[in-house]
C-alpha cells in the first residue's frame, strides 16, 4: 500500500494502546467467585474482549461467545464487576511498546488525533489519564458517548464530524474485526495492530489496509504532514 496522508486519525484503546486484559481478567474472576461460579482465566478473557464491558460480563457468565446469561444472573453479577473494575482499572494494565513514540510522532507531524473506544467513559478516561495518554488526544469518544458502539460506524462518523472532515479522509487504527467493520462502514482507512484482541482470530483474515506490529511503523505508511 502507498503511503496515505489522512486529515485525522482515530485510535482504539483496549488492545491497541493499552493491554488491559490483566485488570479485566482479575475483575472477571473475582466477580465469578462472588457469584459462586468457576473463574475464567486471562486467556479466555482476552478472547472475549472487543464489544464493551457488558458483553464481556455476559460472555464470562456463560463461558461462551455465543449465548446469553439469564437476566437475573446478569443483574446480580454486572454491578459486582463494575464496582471491581472501578477500583482496578489501571493497576495491572500496561501501555504497549511503541505507543508513546507513535503518538508523539503523529503530533509532531501536525496530525489531529482522537480516541474512539467501546469502553464506557467512567473507565476509559481514568485509564488514559492514569497511563499518561489522555493529553495526546483532542477528544475521547467512549462506548456510551453515542447511541451505538463499534462495529457500528456511528462513533467514527461522530468523530469525523467533530473534526470537521469527511470520513473518507480519516484513518482508524485498531486491533479487531469490530474496528475494521466500523471503519469500512464509515469509509475510513483502517490499520490494525497484530498484538491485539480479535477473539483469538488472525487479524489478517479480515483484510485491514495495513497490519502493524508496533506504532513505530506508522511512519512507513503515513506521509509526513509537515514540510
Which residues are marked as active site? 12
* Residues 78 and 61: beta-carbon distance below 8 Å: no
Residue by residue, DSSP assigns 10-25 as EE--BTTTEE-HHHHH
Residue 161, class by beta-carbon neighbours within 10 Å (0-12 exposed, 13-18 middle, 19+ buried)? exposed
Strand-pairing partners, residue 222, are: 4
| Cα–Cα distances in angstroms (integers) from residue 48 to residues 12, 45, 92, in the given order | 16, 5, 18
Alpha helices for the chain (secondary structure H): 21-34, 42-48, 53-62, 71-87, 99-108, 121-130, 154-163, 177-186
CA distance 16 to 197: 8
Furthest C-alpha separation in the chain: 61
Residue 147, class by beta-carbon neighbours within 10 Å (0-12 exposed, 13-18 middle, 19+ buried)? exposed
Amino acid at each position: 500500500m502507498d503511503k496515505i496522508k489522512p486529515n485525522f486519525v482515530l485510535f482504539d484503546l483496549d488492545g491497541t494502546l493499552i493491554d488491559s486484559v490483566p485488570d479485566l481478567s482479575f475483575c472477571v474472576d473475582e466477580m465469578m467467585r462472588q457469584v459462586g461460579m468457576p473463574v475464567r482465566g486471562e486467556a479466555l478473557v482476552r478472547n472475549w474482549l472487543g464489544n464493551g464491558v457488558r458483553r464481556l460480563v455476559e460472555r464470562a457468565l456463560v463461558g461462551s461467545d455465543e449465548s446469553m446469561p439469564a437476566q437475573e444472573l446478569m443483574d446480580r453479577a454486572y454491578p459486582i464487576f463494575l464496582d471491581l473494575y472501578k477500583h482496578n482499572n489501571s493497576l495491572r494494565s500496561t501501555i504497549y511498546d511503541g505507543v508513546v513514540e507513535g503518538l508523539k510522532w503523529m503530533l509532531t507531524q501536525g496530525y489531529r488525533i482522537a480516541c474512539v473506544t467501546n469502553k464506557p467513559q467512567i473507565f476509559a478516561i481514568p485509564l488514559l489519564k492514569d497511563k499518561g495518554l489522555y493529553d495526546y488526544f483532542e477528544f475521547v469518544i467512549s462506548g456510551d458517548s453515542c447511541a451505538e458502539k463499534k462495529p457500528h460506524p456511528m462513533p467514527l462518523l461522530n468523530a469525523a464530524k467533530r473534526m470537521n472532515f469527511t470520513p473518507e479522509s480519516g484513518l482508524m487504527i485498531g486491533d479487531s474485526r469490530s474496528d475494521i467493520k466500523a471503519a469500512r462502514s464509515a469509509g475510513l482507512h483502517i490499520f490494525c495492530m497484530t498484538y491485539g484482541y480479535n477473539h483469538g482470530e488472525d487479524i489478517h483474515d479480515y483484510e485491514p489496509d495495513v497490519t502493524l506490529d508496533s506504532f513505530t511503523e506508522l511512519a512507513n505508511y503515513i506521509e509526513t504532514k509537515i514540510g
